[in-house]
Structure 1
Amino acid sequence: MDRKDYISLAKMIGRHILWSIPIMFVTILAINWLFFDYQPLEDTEGWLRDSLFMATRFTVYLLPWDIYSSMRRIKKGKETRKQLEQYDGLYTER
């Protein structure tokens, strides 16, 4: 992997973190409210803190898989570029 690939990997991981924490936070809030009978008006601060902690923890647990799948996607993209260059002769690398 060259420098450009590492930059792409960092962007993919950044997007993963930026999108997954808010989505998981809202999902965990909804699950807690629907299934575990949390009362947000009685303990709002603790409820939000616990949900945010769980969302962050799940995001960190998913990071190794995200790194692995992102690296595979980058490698596959490189192979596709090489094949296009080889067979068509139309692709020019920037």
Structure 2
Amino acid sequence: MQNYDYLSRFDPDRFSPENSRSRPPMAFQPFGFSGKRSCVGYRFVFATATIFLVTLLKKFRIKIVNEEDVKPLYGLVTRPDKEIWITVNKR
């Protein structure tokens, strides 16, 4: 059985350039949304966020200020080309 005590100690030199060279390039695999290391709680988070958004939309009316034209800016993630101002009124 292997001893992993060195992993439980704080060692700031573990990530130094010298020590990083000896480590395989794919050694660090953080949690993600797919594959064998997917986060166990991501479905719960999406369900909770959906419920929160629906509750918010049931209680408030959200409108874009002055009915301004929103133009998409395409890239890795599509986003608006400028800030979107909204008004929030209680229903």
Please classify the TM superposition score into its range, dividing by the shorter chain length: 0.3 to 0.5
The structure whose Rg is larger is 2
Give 1 or 2: higher strand fraction: 2
Q: TM-score, normalised by structure 2?
A: 0.36
Structure number with higher helix proportion: 1
With structure 1 as the length reference, what TM-score do the two structures score?
0.35
Structure showing greater relative contact order (alpha-carbon pairs closer than 8 Å, 6 or more residues apart):
1
